[in-house]
Amino acid sequence: MSSKKIKNEEIRTASLLEKKSTRRNFLKGLSIAAAAGSAALTTGCIPAADAASTEELKLRWQEFFKKNYRLMTQEEKDATVARLERLSKLNANLDVQMGSYPPLDGVLYGYAFNITRCEGFMECVTACVKENNLDRKTNTQYIRIFEMEPGQLDPSTGDGQYYHEVPVDNKFYMGTQCFHCEKAPCTKACPTKATWKEPDGIVVVDYDWCIGCRYCQAACPYYGRRFNWGKPEIPKEEVTRRQHYLGNRIRPMGKMEKCTFCIQRTRKGRLPACVEACPTGARVFGNLLDPESEIRYVLKHKKVFRMKEELGTDPKFWYFID
């Protein structure tokens, strides 16, 4: 008797689970969902799809499916650079000269920063922002200068947002940027190998290969990396036209970027913009593999140290005192 009751109960509730709702309810629900979905999707999910010419679409299609830069042949590199130059002209009516020149043989770039000579003028920062086409809207700066109290070498004890007459008596100034570590934790962390260390020691990012996961930014101990949270905005007359694919070309939104030791300059023998701009000569740059270079002189004769040496990242950026 009880088993039959249970079975009836089960049948009734089983049918409850399958109870037909009225067709009207169902259709109403479905139509609202469809309306919401389509409204959402059409409110600009696909960025800048308006008024694109067929040439531009073809270029963007080819750019979308290209390989990682490191795996490209020189012809493919030249082809992608040509496409990007053309896209820059079509999109923003901007004529740029983009290069894809490879690293120089027998060169390993090194950098030294004289904390006795830095007076906190921040000329390096403005030069870097201009040279590397950094986003003006968010005031992105690869270089940070800290006003430090003597007795501590840790930037966390310093003030990175000063804006008064410098130098202040009995304070010293220390700059940071990407240190281009030989054992970079960022290159190890990247899941798609969009960032790697070039043979000449520069840690670069293939902006088009990056998926924007920001794991490298979590991994960097020196606050060396910046992310393009929005679309970068640079006034047209201030854009530096001589660019390199891995360097100062205008980055797409949602990609990681960083100091590249001005790869577009240094691979052609020029000094990085920060070194050239420094009015006190606090910055030294050169080839670590050249025993007669200035950077080797500094490493040999000056008291040098590196930041957070205990982390084992092996950076190629030293600080020294006079």
Residues in region 42-81 near another protein by CB under 8 A = 43-47, 64, 68, 71
Q: Does 305 bind another protein (CB under 8 A)?
A: no
Shortest spacing between CB 317 and another protein, in angstroms: 11
CB 184 within 8 A of CB 203: yes
What residues numbered 102-161 form the site for another protein, per CB under 8 A?
104, 106-108, 110, 112, 114, 117, 119-123, 125-126, 129, 138-139, 141, 144-146, 154-158, 160-161
Site for another protein, residues 153 to 172, rule: CB under 8 A: 154-158, 160-167
| Contact criterion met (CB below 8 Å) for 193 and 71 | no
**Site of tokens 């082809």:** 79
**Please, what is the angle between helix 74-92 and helix 54-64, to 10°?**
140
Nearer to another protein, 154 or 238 (CB): 154
3-state secondary structure of 65: coil
Residue 162's CB is within 10 A of a number of other CB atoms, namely 16
Torsions phi, psi of 175, nearest 5? Answer: -110, 145
Give the integer Cα–Cα distance in Å for 271 and 115: 19
Residue 5 interacting with another protein (CB under 8 A):
no
Q: How many chain residues are in contact with another protein, going by CB under 8 A? A: 138
Task: Pull the structure tokens for residue 135.
Answer: 């986003």
Residue 213 touching another protein (CB under 8 A): yes
Residue 252 as a binder of another protein (CB under 8 A): the answer is: yes
Which x/- pattern over 269-298 shows residues binding another protein (rule: CB under 8 A)? xxx---xx-xxxx-xxxxxxxxxxxxxxxx
Tell which one of 8, 10, 86, 305 touches another protein (CB under 8 A).
Answer: 10
